[in-house]
Structure 1
Amino acid sequence: MLNILSILVGLVALIFAIPGLIPLLGWLNWLAVFIGVIGLAIGALSSHNSGRNLNIAVLIVAAIRLSLGGGFF
């Protein structure tokens, strides 16, 4: 059950991260990081790894985009 919840939270974070790749919408990645960390914590409590891995992937994409844009753009 926690794995499904973690996957759903990861998909919500992904919905914020994809438009955050567009220039001047990089601030959406801060939301994606925040939601992704919550999903990662839920996924860590689960016995399966797929939800945790999805959230890790979303966090990596959002963090790289934030580092390229200087944290804002």
Structure 2
Amino acid sequence: MGLISLIWGVVAMLWMVIALVPLLGWGNWFLIPFATLGAIIAAIGIAVTRSENRGRAKAGLVLNGIVIIVGIVRLSLGGGII
């Protein structure tokens, strides 16, 4: 679960960079639920695995959390469209 959430977070980060381009802000409407699902997978990975193997899941949770926050801020600055 940790590796999946980490890869999910990297893909979400790349998508976020593309969605920061002007006139591509509508991609954040799809990005936020995508990153939320990645954060849920990371949370499950943290809850299920033993304490010494949680690093990837924690990194995935942080990446997806950053993407969610940046996506929400970007949508609020652009009025939800741009």
Report percent identity of matched pairs: 39
Q: Which runs of 5+ in 1 are unaligned?
A: none
Aligned residue number for residue 60 of structure 2: 51
* Matches for 1:1-40 after TM superposition, within 5 Å: 2-40=1-39
TM-score by length of 2: 0.81
Contact conserved, 1:17 with 1:62, CA < 8 A, in 2?
A: yes
Q: Which has the larger radius of gyration?
A: 2
Query: How many pairs are equivalent?
Result: 72
Q: Give 1 or 2: higher helix fraction.
A: 2
Aligned residue number for residue 66 of structure 1: 75
CA drift at 1:64: 0.7
TM-score by length of 1: 0.90
After the TM superposition, which segments of 4 or more aligned residues of structure 1 sit over 4 Å from their partners? none
CA drift at 1:34: 1.5
Query: Of the two structures, which has the highest relative contact order with CA contacts closer than 8 Å and spacing of 6 or more?
Result: 2
Aligned residue number for residue 51 of structure 2: none
CA drift at 1:70: 0.7
